[in-house]
Amino acid sequence: MLSAQSLALIDREVAKYPADQKRSAVMGALRIALEERRSTGETPEARCLNQEVIEFVANYLEIPPVAAYEVATFYNMYDMKPVGKYKITVCTNLPCALRGGVNAAEYISHKLGIAIGETSSDGMYTLLEGECMGACGDAPVLLVNNHSMCSFMTSEAIDKKLAELK
Amino acid sequence: MAVFVNGVIFDGVDTAAADAWRLDAYVARGGYQALRKILDSKLPQEDVIAEVKNSGLRGRGGAGFPTGLKWSFMPRSFPGDKYVVCNTDEGEPGTFKDRDILRFNPHSLIEGMIIAGYAMGTKAGYNYIHGEVFAEYLRFEEALEEARKAGFLGQNILGTDFSFELYAHHGYGAYICGEETALLESLEGKKGQPRFKPPFPASFGLYGKPTTINNTESFASVPFIIRDGAQKFLEAGKPNNGGTKLFSVSGHVNRPGNYEIPLGTPFSTLLEMAGGMKDGKKLKAVIPGGSSAPILPAEIMMNCTMDYDSISKAGSMLGSGAVIVMNEDVCMIKALERLAFFYHEESCGQCTPCREGTGWLYRVIHRIANGQGRPGDLELLDSVGNNMAGRTICALADAAVFPVRSFTKHFRHEFEYAIEHGKTLVDHKWC
């Protein structure tokens, strides 16, 4: 179900923990599984985690499926719902809001024609509001697909970024 | 932007240089000398701990607990596995200092953790890194690899019989994992739900083994203390508040960023360093220690110095050193509404008073902010808060209540006006 490359990455995670504590690797393993689905999935449904993948990861780590499932649903960066090719998460928490975080989210919403929480009908973009990303000095801040942080996102910077995300 | 003045952790770090974070640059700045000093002189463990105690270093994650004292709680002679864990799960709104340590000086953290491992007789450590900072997680992994290759990490460090291994664990989006026992649960591959204390991590921590958890900045301060001496670190701050501290300044200033300055520096000086108020607006209020710290009005804040004791005396806390600056255009109800939403969103749901209470706080503040406040709402907020604070396993409920209490205390007239008139007193502008 996952590529050899993903499994090798998961093995690297497993090696970080004591031999009898493979469960510790579940967070990394789910991230790696999600990354594979995001990069290979052709539709919003194919880009998120689902029960099958979670069970696969659980079996791979020899833990009960529910143990992996509860982790996937507890941490908010795991996509459990269909998601666009580009998931844009804008921080609107107080320190960011004081420097344009809310304006940035509204600007993107207007430009993409989707409300916060929605995915565009062509399946290209999902717009989310995020909580503190630990980069308040760089506000407005947004994340693209969980891992790429973009700092100082003025309207011009957003225009440029969206032009790249095609 | 990062600005460092008279720093300890960032002493000599050129943040503009692309390779300043690498091992070579760190060694050129005097890095790993502290570790060599300890290993060459076979310094007894208790002497290392005494040095950290004497430095007056207090935990930089928020609680301000003396680091050396915490280290002394570890059962050093315990024969089985023991762990040191670093808390880089930096998600307290306003705090962004640890990210800069990973970006610009990761080896200071690695060296600090190795020294901690030596002092407490542990063989392994983990650094738990905030989910949203993936690039910094990758950089830290790379720095670990450099340290391993150079013989600073792994088996028989620098040819001695001391061995220590260090790994990075990447979080995936849960504020609660900044709470140390939730972090341990998460490291074990579970939901990040805090544990009852006692037992404390020093006796029952990661995998049930003795564990010491410190903040990134605390560990990163240790190499300086060992290399240059506790006295020099202590003198960099003020009595009972040793050292310099990283302050993350955000909000309505001209130059937001991290400022590493001596503890005890006047707030007015820090504000000046950060370029003063943006657009020449008037300072209204400051949250001096991250979103969980009580807010202070400008007139109180301008008389504070930036250290644990002064901020505590003024009725707030230094917390993580996150200084959120707000100007006169901010409606305090709107500001509080956003924080209340955050705590509601991030409550782990384990304890009923917090799970339900954070929702109540948010909904009541939301309706006041939107002109739907009812007579008695301020009393209701009080009552909900009183049924949350101190009644849960961890301090998230308290953290959600502190801002509500302090906002409604210092800016009560804004809340009363909004409830009475069905609109806010301040014509709110975020920026």
Model confidence over B105-136: pLDDT tens digits? 999 999 999 999 999 999 999 999 999 999 99
C-beta of residue B285 within 8 angstroms of C-beta of residue B56 = no
- Which of A18, A97, A135 lies closest to B96 in CB terms? A135
* Residues in CB range of B42: below 8 A, 6 or more apart: none
Domain A86-165: CATH architecture, name and number where available = 3-Layer(aba) Sandwich (3.40)
Q: Tell whether A111 lies on the interface with B, counting CB pairs under 8 A.
A: no
The CATH class of B3-236 is: alpha beta
Q: Which of A32, A94, A151, A154 to mutate against chain B (most B CBs within 10 Å)?
A: A94
How many CB pairs below 8 Å do chains A and B form together?
Answer: 165
User: What is residue B15's predicted lDDT score, i.e. its pLDDT?
Assistant: 85
Scanning B176-215 for CB atoms below 8 A from A yields: 186-192, 207
- Which of B132, B191, B251 lies closest to A99 in CB terms? B251
**What sign has the CA pseudo-torsion A90, A93, A99, A104?**
positive
Q: Cα distance from B224 to chain A (closest Cα, Å)?
A: 25
CA distances from residue B298 to A77, B164, B284, B322 in whole angstroms, order as listed? 37, 48, 5, 16
Q: What is the rounded distance in angstroms from the CA atom of residue A151 to the CA atom of residue B265?
A: 29
Residue in chain A nearest B336 by alpha carbon: A94
Cβ separation B93–A94 shorter than 8 A: yes
The CATH class of B332-421 is: mainly alpha
Q: Cα distance from B188 to chain A (closest Cα, Å)?
A: 4
Q: Where are the domains of chain B?
A: 3-236, 244-327, 332-421
* Residues in CB range of A95: below 8 A, 6 or more apart: A132, A136, A139, B93, B94, B250, B251, B322, B324
CATH 3.40.30.10 spans which residues of chain A? 86-165
Cβ separation A75–B131 shorter than 8 A: yes
Cβ separation B291–A103 shorter than 8 A: no
CATH 1.10.10 spans which residues of chain A? 4-74
Q: How does pLDDT run across B151-167, given as a tens digit for each residue?
A: 999 999 999 999 999 99
Residue in chain B nearest A23 by alpha carbon: B189
Within a 10 A sphere around the Cβ of A115, how many other Cβ atoms?
Answer: 8
DSSP for residue B156: S
Question: Which residue has tokens 């003024």?
Answer: B314
User: Cβ-count burial of B428 within 10 angstroms (0-12 exposed, 13-18 middle, 19+ buried)?
Assistant: middle
Cβ separation B190–A149 shorter than 8 A: no
Q: Where are the beta strands (DSSP E) in B149-205?
A: 165-170
Asked whether residue B2 carries a pLDDT value surpassing 60, the answer given is no
Q: What is the rounded distance in angstroms from the CA atom of residue B200 to the CA atom of residue B194?
A: 12
Cβ separation B338–A21 shorter than 8 A: no
C-beta of residue B330 within 8 angstroms of C-beta of residue B426 = yes
Q: What is the rounded distance in angstroms from the CA atom of residue A37 to the CA atom of residue A45?
A: 10
In whole numbers, what is the pLDDT of chain B averaged over residues?
A: 95
- Which of A26, A99, A147 lies closest to B134 in CB terms? A147
> What is chain A's pLDDT, residue by residue, as a tens digit (166 residues)?
999 999 999 999 999 999 999 999 999 999 999 999 999 999 999 999 999 999 999 999 999 999 999 999 999 999 999 999 999 999 999 999 999 999 999 999 999 999 999 999 999 999 999 999 999 999 999 999 999 999 999 999 999 999 999 9
Instruction: Say yes or no: ipTM exceeds 0.95.
Output: yes
Q: How does pLDDT run across B227-270, given as a tens digit for each residue?
A: 999 999 988 887 777 788 999 999 999 999 999 998 899 999 99
User: What is residue B255's predicted lDDT score, i.e. its pLDDT?
Assistant: 95
Q: Tell whether B92 lies on the interface with A, counting CB pairs under 8 A.
A: yes
Cβ separation B187–A24 shorter than 8 A: yes
Q: Cα distance from B353 to chain A (closest Cα, Å)?
A: 19
Q: A47-76: b or e for each residue (b if 16 or more CB lie within 10 Å)? A: bbbeeebbbbbbebbebeeebbbebbebbb
- Which of B130, B189, B430 lies closest to A134 in CB terms? B130
Q: What is the rounded distance in angstroms from the CA atom of residue B100 to the CA atom of residue B175?
A: 19
Q: Which of B250, B270, B329 to mutate against chain A (most A CBs within 10 Å)?
A: B250
The CATH class of B244-327 is: alpha beta
pLDDT interval class at B79 (50, 70, 90): confident
Share of chain B above pLDDT 90, in %: 90
pLDDT interval class at B4 (50, 70, 90): low
**For residue B151, what are its two tokens?**
């013989």
C-beta of residue B92 within 8 angstroms of C-beta of residue B320 = yes
C-beta of residue B158 within 8 angstroms of C-beta of residue B168 = no
Tell me which of A71-75, B58-62, B170-174 is least confident.
B58-62
Q: Fold for A4-74, please state it.
A: Arc Repressor Mutant, subunit A (1.10.10)
Asked whether residue B341 carries a pLDDT value surpassing 70, the answer given is yes
Asked whether residue B89 carries a pLDDT value surpassing 60, the answer given is yes
User: What is residue B62's predicted lDDT score, i.e. its pLDDT?
Assistant: 83
C-beta of residue B274 within 8 angstroms of C-beta of residue B286 = no
* Residues in CB range of B12: below 8 A, 6 or more apart: B29, B30
- Which of B91, B186, B249 lies closest to A132 in CB terms? B91
